[in-house]
Structure 1
């Protein structure tokens, strides 16, 4: 019997000896590495075909730690060519990845080819797997402070010699240490101290609110002054011990996490109370509401024989698109100083419409709940941060010229688009059609077609096959 191992064209006899099977696995991995190296090369060539002036401005990453703090960063380091922002989306959809992932692929390819040439040569010769080289490129692209071409070349020389001979964790440490050594060596006291690595302030406290675990947790990371960090650790240890003394059977880690939440809520409440400020929202103890977290949880409900409404035990949390348990929501709401707001139920199947171009809140909310994310192929940006777009463009002159409105403000003609893909649809040859409630078919400038619905993205017929005429 013959079976496939490693993809089409790689046939393996299932009667192989253990040694033969290992040889076949090694061969399949070599073919996979060669394909990944080829993909990097093709991504770089795609970038070469699309300089910014050919379509639009240069592609960038939007980075920041909060609203009002976002900055645009190039997709590759200083010395690499820039790339037209809108060309990235078509590459991503062909590969079945998001636009952000496609930016990362192109950025890594350009970083390796132009700033890390030794590593690039090793990837293309098969001596270093593409994924290892890409991890180095990711570090050099986003190093703080930014690496000059000379600094990147120095890192390349130090790292390329051993990249293929050490493990991933060792490689990550080596890259980080190499970047630091170069910056410290360049930190000449005779020069402006603000130019040195040691002048960079690494302190921050960042809540990753887009990464919500199914257990109802978020990841918080911080870099603090040593004294502050030790104080926080001492307070968390004390809070964990106090909870244990009061009968908690949770693990130490769980109790420390709870102590951090207690610290935030109690301190906020006590500060406001001690300052004699008038609380606009108070509980029975006279303290202001300390917990006011906005979460959008959705549960299916059904009516039983006695007329009561019964909710399913599991639902969906919009924040992070994750599973949430009904018991968790009950626990969050059970705190006496938690503000709870219940919004009216919205029928996602109802057809809502409005005169004019402006989209009322009730229609906007229905579209955001229906689509859940941006409806561009493979995009996963939550709909709460998206624009609501008229699929068929609204004609502002139709009423004055007594013509039928081709793009009315009605839910079937609306879709959630993140700002980037909204601009992409407006300024390029990308377009999409509605084929059902919350279901769209997108067509790329080169004729690739994709179906996007609440379950995800499906690639349709390849270019060259006629598509149905637009309604």
Structure 2
């Protein structure tokens, strides 16, 4: 009897099938883990319900959750902790988060129950909003429920913080006042190599200015020390210059170009003469010496008009709009015109001009890589052609219709990892992977698409049509 061997698979077919299977298993495993965590929350909630009444007058009750959640027998919590093999404080936190999600954040809990988001993110939202009263927390719940399934965790938590401020601005201001007294600067003990950590808790505005000054001094020092020091080392050395204000002033003056690019005449080696010249300089000339930078602040017209609301500073996060004075108080602010996003800005060159970059950035709202946090800043991304630029191709290849902001590592992943993208509408980016996974990134976050949906969307945009689906996989 002769046994016939099966015909060998064509090269690469088995590997491709295996890779695709791994990706499917990874997605299934993610959902299974999330649902297992949901079950943990359900059991904690059920235990709290069972233990929701005192046994006698000496059986104390506690309220682990926020306003509006039921009480639980205090002495019942350790027993559940033992069954879970955790510390009672850990189990108490689980009960508190579960009760908050069910009673205070029901819309968010609906998403959590389906496995559509990370339960730990929802639990963190419960903690962030716990101080709100029962009638205030729906503001947070509505916003988070819309975002938690599609956005990165850091984006959801930033949104939650903003909504907590919006829901109860008075309490936020009172907490800010308490936190003001917790600011500090301290030094660690020197290590065996003679180095120490400087630990400071400062205002967001002061922190930004300190960072900018350290960066500027490190940039100057790189000309003479850069060959033997990394950028982090130069920033550490620059920090020491802040303790020598006169030397620092002299260094900055000598490397400030206010007219022709040459070292100004008043930047001489004679420190006393330099300082004397500075003290007699007109205010307009002194203003030229300030470090310049770009800060993107997102704020509504109503918040500007009323002075009440939340502003978001790229790289900082949400703050009370009244705190803008602390951040911008020492700066000369130039307000740039509002962009008309209806304009079709297109150029023939490979390089993105600033007007196109601004358009793409405002339209997209952050890094357009799937599931990535929207915490990138405009100056911290590359503006990538979705369809690669072709030197022999048609005019107008560079513009919002074919561009997306990407952090450098995401840009490299797209370029070298076989990923493809298409801009399928204003601020809408279609991604496809080598193993036929597809995702849509837009203002709602990241949504998973079927291969057929992705293909239809790509074909539609070629015909000048934006395709929308009522629901995604």
TM range (shorter): 0.3 to 0.5
Compare relative contact order (CA 8 Å, sep 6+) and give the higher one, 1 or 2.
Answer: 2
Structure having the higher strand fraction is 1
Structure with higher helix content: 2
TM-score norm. by structure 1 comes to 0.41
Q: TM-score, normalised by structure 2?
A: 0.41
